[in-house]
Amino acid sequence: MKTIILRTASTYLLPVLLLFSIFILLRGHYSPGGGFVGGLIASIAFVLHSFARGLDNTKELLRIHPGFLMPVGLALAFLAGVTPVLFFDLPFMTGLWYPEHLPVLGSLGTALFFDLGVYLVVVGVTLTIIFTISESA
Amino acid sequence: MTQQLVLYPLLLQMFLSILLMFCWRKISWQRVISIVGSIISVGVSIWLFSYIWENGTQIVLAGNWKPPFGIIFVADTLSATLVLLTAISGLAVASFSSASVVAARLKFGYFPIFHFLLLGLNGAFLTGDIFNLYVWFEIIIISSFVLITLGGEKAQLEGSVKYFTLNILASMIFLTAIAVLYGLTGSLNMADLALKVAAIENRGLVEITAILFLVAFGIKAAVFPLYFWLPDSYHTPPSAVAAIFGGLLTKVGVYALIRVFTLIFVGDMFLENIILIIAVLTLFSGGLGALVQNNLRKVFSYLIICHIGYMIAGLGLFTEVAIAGTIFYLIHDIIVKTNLFMVGGLIFRIRGTNSIRNLGGLYADHPMLSLLIAIPLFSLVGVPPLSGFWPKISLIIAAFESEQWWVVGAIIFASLITLIVIAKVWASVIWKEKKELPVRLNFRYFDKLKTIRKAQMIAPMIFLSLVSLYIGFGAEHIQQVSSRVAGELMDNTQYIEAVLGKEQIIDHEE
């Protein structure tokens, strides 16, 4: 798979795909998209990179083991859900919103952090599975 | 603080599993976190139970969306009782696992998954939304599938294929049933469904949907003729896993049956008769199955099936006394079955085999342990005044009052079979002359374990035996709880009122 075309393309595709995944993550509240799809696109970016450059290079690029993203993502999503319970005595998962409208992000609320958590979990799970399979193959 | 109390057991388990995932490689930390967390969870569950006992049914609207649109969590007495029992069994198994499950398995995330399983169980007991119930069932299946395959021995994988195929099939049927129900009523909230299903005129369609639910939950609860996956899979995983499976997993199916058939599909003679017939056949087939097995854990597996029959029979009789009997049996059974599989694990650790023919002489070697083992065994049979005796009285009285003589016969027959099976187990495992068994190399025999590990294995059995003794000798208190649960279940307007408020019901009647 190490053709020069793929290798050159992957250098450009990695940041573009990652940016696109963030875009999908952010637009997800009202439009199609969200943490799950965004996470899948982000993992595709890394999988493509590993096809072109080899698994070891991708691991070096990631620095941390992708499996570690799972508890981090879960913790983030959990905190987003628990914050209303702990600080406002509102039910679990109640959406709390920052009143001002922010540029780029739009409305900022706990839902975004929940989605970000989902994003990280999906990246972690997908990459762990794919890396494990390609290591044993 | 107390407003969100209903969700605390759930949130605690979720927190514990995430925390345990952060300590993925540090097994000794995981042991401590799991045991301490489980002790806290027992405390939280007692808090929830006593709050519900004082103040009646409580609800929490997830995301603050009003019912019937959002997902809601409802804790009535039945849910709170089951959450408490889950916490008690969870604590016992957490301690038992940290001693008996080998480190190779613990390294691959045994404890995080175990707490995800408890999370799923708590969720299933507390949710008031039928689709959300499906989601919790999925969490339970996925976690249990990991637990049952962890270790990857050949026998384990064989058992887990059967386990997984049938449970996925059950989930599919469950999902189909939910889809049909949603098509009929346009709602997923169980209280709302109760009102809307009662108003549907096409009863045939409602009955078909009810049968779909019966089949789906029947597979989970392992009733006749859908039980054959259970004895084939429950003896393969480590005994700590089997303990939580045997104690709680099939009971989720029973809980779902009780909830759906007392809340949504109520008062249909046809359905009640079907449930009764299933119950009687389950009692017979489970009992006869247990009689011919030689593997200790397979015997216990068949006894699970047999005793599911009692609970289903109470549901089929559908009188207040019968339902109280069912609930009492459920309480007794969760504790005893968890304990029994731990006994199986302990005997395996002592002798290195679970074959009844080769076991023996336990009383000569370990007299105190034998005495401890006697408590769950004879509680299971229901030797008065131990815990299995009282619910059977309620069930038999209820069957007499409904003049269902064959049900009385089946209940007594199943008790007799259980007695024979347990007597056989007792005679050959505890009293029979000891056989010289070949010594297994690289096997961690009980006598070679460190004292703390021994204590971690014995302490949960003592704990659960004490709970069993309390259920037997303090039967009055348990009977009070069961009668109150039965009262709440027989009159489903209480549940509906708690969820939707009074106005909605009156609106609906107009």
| DSSP type of residue A137 | -
Task: Give me the interface pTM, i.e. the ipTM.
Answer: 0.91
C-alpha to C-alpha distance for B448 and B147, rounded to whole angstroms: 26
Does the beta-carbon distance from A71 to B18 stay under 8 Å? yes
Place of tokens 């097994």: B27
CB burial string B336-371: b at 16+ within 10 A, e below = bbbbbbbbbbbbbbbbbbbebebbbebbeebeebbe
B247-295: per-residue pLDDT in tens?
A: 899 899 999 999 999 999 987 788 899 999 999 999 999 999 999 988 8
Does the beta-carbon distance from B64 to A75 stay under 8 Å? no
Q: Are the C-beta atoms of B13 and B44 separated by less than 8 Å?
A: no
| DSSP type of residue B410 | H
Domain that holds residue A90: 4-136
Q: Where are the beta strands (DSSP E) in B144-284?
A: none
Q: Which residues of chain A make contact with B14, given a CB cutoff of 8 A? A: 78
Tell me, yes or no, if B61 comes closer than 8 A to chain A by beta carbon: yes
Q: Where are the alpha helices (DSSP H) in B3-129?
A: 8-22, 27-55, 77-100, 103-107, 110-126
Q: How many domains does chain A have?
A: 1
Tell me, yes or no, if A64 comes closer than 8 A to chain B by beta carbon: no
| DSSP type of residue B71 | -
C-alpha to C-alpha distance for B101 and B238, rounded to whole angstroms: 7
Q: Which residues of chain B make contact with A90, given a CB cutoff of 8 A? A: 64
Q: Nearest-CA distance from B438 to chain A in Å?
A: 38
What pLDDT, on the 0 to 100 scale, is given for residue B171?
94
C-alpha to C-alpha distance for A122 and A41, rounded to whole angstroms: 10
Other CB atoms within a 10 A radius of the CB of residue B442 amount to 4
- Chain B residue with minimum CA distance to A76: B18
Torsion of CA A86, A90, A92, A96, to 10 degrees: -90
Q: How many domains does chain B have?
A: 1
Across-strand partners of B72?
Answer: B61
Domain that holds residue B398: 2-436+443-509
C-alpha to C-alpha distance for B326 and B309, rounded to whole angstroms: 10
Question: What average pLDDT does this structure show over A44-56?
Answer: 89
C-alpha to C-alpha distance for B434 and B365, rounded to whole angstroms: 9
Q: Nearest-CA distance from A24 to chain B in Å?
A: 23
Can you give the pTM of this predicted structure? 0.94
Tell me, yes or no, if A109 comes closer than 8 A to chain B by beta carbon: no
**HSE (side-chain half, CA atoms, 13 Å) at A18:** 12
Interface with B, mutate which of A92, A120, A128 (most B CBs under 10 A) = A92
The list of chain B residues with pLDDT below 50 reads none
What pLDDT, on the 0 to 100 scale, is given for residue B9?
93
Q: Which long-range contacts (CB under 8 A, 24 or more apart) does B135-139 make?
A: B137/B171, B137/B174, B137/B220, B137/B252, B137/B256, B138/B171
A103-116: per-residue pLDDT in tens?
A: 777 778 888 899 99
What pLDDT, on the 0 to 100 scale, is given for residue B503?
62
Q: Are the C-beta atoms of B106 and B238 separated by less than 8 Å?
A: no
Does the beta-carbon distance from B63 to A71 stay under 8 Å? no
Does the beta-carbon distance from B63 to A93 stay under 8 Å? yes
C-alpha to C-alpha distance for A90 and A81, rounded to whole angstroms: 10
B15's tokens = 């927190």
Q: Which residues of chain B make contact with A67, given a CB cutoff of 8 A? A: 24
Contacts of B224 (CB under 8 A, 6+ apart): B278, B281, B282, B284, B285, B286, B305, B309
Q: Nearest-CA distance from A116 to chain B in Å?
A: 16
H or E element: which one contains B76? none
Tell me, yes or no, if B51 comes closer than 8 A to chain A by beta carbon: no
* Residue B151 Rama label (left phi>0; alpha psi -120 to 50; beta): left
What pLDDT, on the 0 to 100 scale, is given for residue A7?
87
Q: How many CB pairs under 8 A join A and B?
A: 40
Other CB atoms within a 10 A radius of the CB of residue A123 amount to 25
